[in-house]
A and B are shown apart, each in its own frame.
Chain A
Amino acid sequence: MLVQPLGSLAPHLQRVLRSPRAHQAVWRHFPSCAVPHLHTSKNLMSSELKQSDANQRKTSKAQLERIRRADTGSPFSVFTAGAARKRAESVKSQMGVELAETSTVTKVGKSLVPLKPLNVDDWKKLKTESPNKTRFEVSMMEKLLSARADIDVAKSLLVFVTMENGTVEYELLLKYLALCVQQQHLTEILDLYGMMKTRFKILDIGAYSLFISGFSKTDRWREAVMFLDSIKKMVTPSPRNYGDIVISALKHKEVETAWMLFKEMENKNLKPTENTLEAFFDYGKSFCDDQYENKVMYILFYLRDNQIYPGKGLMQSIHSWFESIPGKQWEGHETTILHSGKCPVCNTLLESIQLSVEEYHLLRECVMNDIIQGTDTFKKTTPQELQHFQTFVKNRPPYDIVIDGLNVANIAPKGNQSKILLDVVSYLANRNMRLLVLGRKHMLRGTRSWNKGHMADIQKYADCFFTENISEDDPFLLYATMHSGNHCKFLSRDLMRDHKACLSDQNTRRLFFKWQRGHQLVLSRYNPGNRMKFEIISKYDTIVQTTQDTWHIPYDEEGVERCSYEVPRKWLCLRKYN
């Protein structure tokens, strides 16, 4: 039954892949886009299959149509998870460099670790043989730790040390403690704690962290909170410190303690680890009351507010937690969202990528203050130029597309730069767009790559503004786009990461990124003489979101490296049946 639609798809897919356009040599000029595009059409088969599995109402006709649509506009935009990686790969393969796979150079045992406990004499012999006599014990313990050796070997080493020196140094004890924690010898950890407490007045942060993760697995997990307090006296504890205790508190059904710690972490601006969040969902299944449900909802909104995308493991925990709620029939599916912003499983329209009016004004303000003016207007431009530009923009009606002239002109390594720009500008102008082209003054000088005739033509099609050669043009681009209003888009391949970094706080950076995803046009294919193609701007926002009876949660796939300026592709759709 499933094979059937696939069978009917296969020839079409092959046609798509073999279509002459895919084989044109030109795509090599656009490393950023062409390869991802091809890749998605190949991948499409599996994802489509899953969808048809989830939703059998879809006819194969609709699927065909969707494939065709995917072909006309790659769903794989620059902001999709893994795009940067693919770009790097294609650039490297073009340069003829084999992409060095993360070579797993395992430390081949040049220094062997004893496998069985040795007695004192053997250790003594080993020590005289070793090149590093002063720190022999510590380095040996480190080796044992990295080799995950048996704890008895470590113990025998400690016996040897006590026989030699009459005592064990703190550093060695610490390494031994790390070994115990690594292998979860809980009684040994408790013993060690008793010993260290009597010997040392306080311990260092490393030891406290180790004790926290050790104790939180035992019945004495409450004492771990005490260690946390001692750490707090010196530095801010790490998210893992908190996480260890939260997990054990949840395991012992002490929801209040866990919740208090979670809140504390949030107040300190620490990002909880994946495991911590997973624990809330995993252990939450056993005690399901309204109060706890509220807490879980709070966590989901926390993910939303901080734009945290769960990993595969956490996603599965969330999935099973929802399905375990008694009384309400939740059903979850993994899916990918259509271009239209519609979830193929439940047909819900996802949140729009457009900013709200207040958000838009806030962002515009911040872009003006932080990115363009900054601490010193002279860094990026001059006040006169800025003034000039502002009046220039103000005196003209809003634009539809603002073009980064230099970025667009350099899209192909070969070819006349002004010609490329003219092509793009005329293409867009013929679609009745009001255009603004930004550039630098040197473009007007009339050189071989900047033909004066071309430049004159461009000025016929569009308004142009040329900045000084030493000014930056990106801030002007952002300003002009924002000033023209919400409908205005900008055309550039630049990811604007440096400008995003100029923004003062995390929230505006997130707003900027959302705005960028919704307003940045990227030229995905350009072939002189042929039509050009732009990457599709997604209509929906990739963020954890909910309606009355659905939740949509984007998550990171396993094995896909996602950069900070990319968003996941896969979604978890949760739907409630009443």
Chain B
Amino acid sequence: MWFRVAHIFQTFAGHYSLQLKTCVKNKVPLIRCQFMPHHRMLVLTSCKKNEEKKVSPDKLDLDIWKTIMKETASEAPKTCPSEDPVDAFSAATREMVQMWRLAGKAVPENITEEQLSIVQELPSKSAKKKYLKYLAIKEGKKKATKEKRKIKQEGAEYLQKEKQNGGGVELKNTFLLQFWQRSFDVMYNWRAAQSMLFGQPLVFDMSYESNMARREMENTVSQLLECEGFNRKSLDPFHLYFCNMMPEGSYHKELLKRYGDAWDRLLITVTEKSYVDIFPKDKLVYLTADSPSVLKSFHHDKIYIIGSIVDKSIQTGLSLANAKRLKLATARLPLDEYLKWDVGAKNLTLNQMISILLTVKETGNWQEALKFVPKRKHEGFLPVPEQKYCNQFKNHQNKTRIDNGPVKKARRQKSTLNLNQGVEKSSNKKRWWLDED
């Protein structure tokens, strides 16, 4: 209907389109101009031609966005800031990342030179995408915490102001000075120092440097940090040993990076030597999920070894091979005996391991200790006739030393079977040969 009206304004067409251009330039939403006649005008100038061709009016303005885009194009060709042509390749990568961002892919907003070089080194497109997604998620988390902190700060400031307005702070009458974090630290360090003198050793085997990728190594070190923290805060800490630690190796570098100056003040023993050189061999027990024998109770005179490895590509039998080579006893946690396993691998993270070991060391109660196993991996605890299990075990206690002679071993395994026959049946593929029925 208003096409007719348009004819009246036809002569002004040039003028209006010019106005529209400025409108776009200033990014004024055009929709606001709709009531103005000149906007309508622009629509109509192209429509008029079509009208004669008898095309349905709906179709008329379908290509207008192109004209607008083309007009704006000359104004904004600098969506990508031109880089210095120093390193053309890295510039290209940076641009690619930017375009991916525009295309709505999960890539970080800002990327450092170091990260960029990592991206370039990655061999495939999917590896690049994965790494960039990781960076994007990391960036998002950082932003979120920043925001939270800001809000918190604002809240605190507001409270402060309230207080000031409400008059001076009332002093409390207490018989203790405020217990600062510093005091806690002193206490923890005191305990850790004691454990270094008298505590039970717990060894982390750091010989898996070559078996891990960069991300896995980073994760391992994070877990080690948590381990050390949890151990320090426990009532009766272990004396931690980091054995087989190569100076200037990737473990060392990453640990230094994370701990900073605190690394030299840490109350743990770090050594290049192997655990077999430090401790008597018959006291050592290598904890590995691949082991055929079960750790039935925690021994205070044994030295347990945990392989510090995060294994995202499935390499089975790595730590078992190590133990076999050195002819050490091995054991795995009694997960199947106590838990109704559901999903997930039986290998636990390092911090879960140390939590479990510390708890079982303190309480001797597996049910309590295995609460540190992630809930998603199991459906709940099995009703274990615990009393019987423990009592019977005492008779066999001297047998837990793991022998190298195959005949003895076989006998020992048989005894294991008698102990937990009821539980054993459930589902244990690994030791199916024990199944006598």
Contacts and interface: CB of A to CB of B under 8 A. Distances in A.
Given A152-B58, A469-B433, 5 more contacts: A162-B30, A163-B31, A200-B99, A234-B92, A442-B434
B266 interface: no
Contact of B128 (A165, A235, A379): A235
8 contacts: A166-B28, A167-B68, A167-B76, A168-B69, A205-B96, A205-B125, A376-B318, A447-B436
Contact of A376 (B29, B99, B321): B321
Interface stretch (A116-124, A215-223, A360-368, A478-486): A116-124
A460 interface: no
Interface stretch (A153-161, A294-302, A318-326): A153-161
Interface in B21-39: 23-24, 27-31, 34
Contacts of B410: 441-442, 445, 469
A281 to B, nearest CB: 30
A376 B321 CA distance: 8
B385 to A, nearest CB: 24
A189 to B, nearest CB: 13
Interface stretch (A51-59, A169-177, A508-516): A169-177
Interface in B84-113: 92-93, 95-96, 99-100, 102-105
Given A138-B104, A201-B95, A207-B103, A191 B66 contact: yes
A372 to B, nearest CB: 14
Of the listed residues A161, A167, A174, A206, the one surrounded by the most CB atoms of chain B closer than 10 A to its CB is A167
A204 B29 contact: no
- Top 8 A-B pairs, shortest CB-CB distance: A378-B321, A204-B99, A170-B102, A162-B65, A235-B125, A155-B62, A171-B104, A442-B433
B99 A152 contact: no
B437 A202 contact: no
Of the listed residues B27, B65, B77, the one surrounded by the most CB atoms of chain A closer than 10 A to its CB is B65
A164 B31 contact: yes
Contacts of A168: 65, 69
A506 interface: no
Contacts of B23: 166
A212 to B, nearest CB: 15
B154 to A, nearest CB: 25
A469 B324 contact: no
Chain A interface bracket (under 10, 10 to 19, 20 to 34, 35 or more): 35 or more
B102 A171 contact: yes
Contact of B436 (A202, A203, A378, A449): A449
A198 interface: yes
Interface in A424-483: 440-442, 445, 447-449, 468-470
A161 B31 CA distance: 10
B320 interface: yes
A191 B80 CA distance: 21
Interface string A122-157: 001000000000000010000000000000100110
Nearest to B437: A448
Contacts of B414: 445
Interface in A55-98: none
A199 interface: yes
A164 to B, nearest CB: 6
B79 interface: yes
A191 B65 CA distance: 12
A253 B346 CA distance: 60
B186 interface: no
Contact of B103 (A162, A170, A441, A470): A170
A396 interface: no
Interface of B is mostly: helix
Contacts of A124: 31
Nearest to A154: B62
B325 A378 contact: yes
A447 to B, nearest CB: 5
A471 B301 CA distance: 30
A213 B99 CA distance: 20
B29 A164 contact: yes
Contacts of A138: 104
A306 interface: no
A382 interface: yes
A531 interface: no
Contacts of A442: 410, 433-434
A198 B74 contact: yes
Contact of B92 (A119, A161, A174, A233): A233
B380 interface: no
Contacts of B269: none
A99 interface: no
Contact of A201 (B62, B63, B79, B322): B79
Nearest to A170: B102
Interface of A: 116-117, 119-120, 124, 138, 152, 155-156, 158-159, 161-171, 174, 191, 195, 198-207, 233-236, 376, 378-380, 382, 440-442, 445, 447-449, 468-470
Nearest to B96: A234
Contacts of A447: 436
A124 B30 CA distance: 13
Nearest to B89: A233
A379 B317 contact: yes
Given A158-B65, A198-B70, A468-B406, A119 B58 contact: yes
Contact of A117 (B58, B70, B318, B436): B58
B103 A164 contact: no
B72 interface: yes
B59 A204 contact: no
A236 B125 contact: yes
B382 interface: no
A166 B325 contact: no
A166 B24 contact: yes
B124 interface: yes
B433 A440 contact: yes
Contacts of A201: 77, 79-80, 82, 95
Interface string B109-132: 000000000000000110010000
A163 B79 contact: no
Contacts of B59: 117, 152
Interface in B266-302: 292
Given A164-B29, A378-B322, A159 B62 contact: yes
Contacts of B82: 201
A200 B80 CA distance: 7
Nearest to B434: A442
A116 B56 CA distance: 12
Contacts of A202: 80, 92, 95-96, 99
B64 interface: yes
A15 to B, nearest CB: 42
Contact of A159 (B64, B76, B79, B93): B64
B61 interface: yes
Contacts of A163: 29-31, 34
B327 to A, nearest CB: 10
Contacts of A171: 102-104
Contact of A199 (B79, B316, B322): B79
A441 B103 CA distance: 61
Contacts of A167: 24, 27, 68-69, 72, 76
A155 B67 CA distance: 13
Nearest to A383: B325
A252 B105 CA distance: 36
Nearest to B68: A162
A469 B80 CA distance: 63
A195 B95 CA distance: 19
Nearest to A198: B73
B322 A236 contact: no
Contacts of B409: 469
Nearest to A466: B406
Interface in B2-38: 23-24, 27-31, 34
Contacts of B100: 204-205
A204 B99 CA distance: 5
Contacts of A159: 61-62, 64-65
Contacts of A470: 292, 320, 324
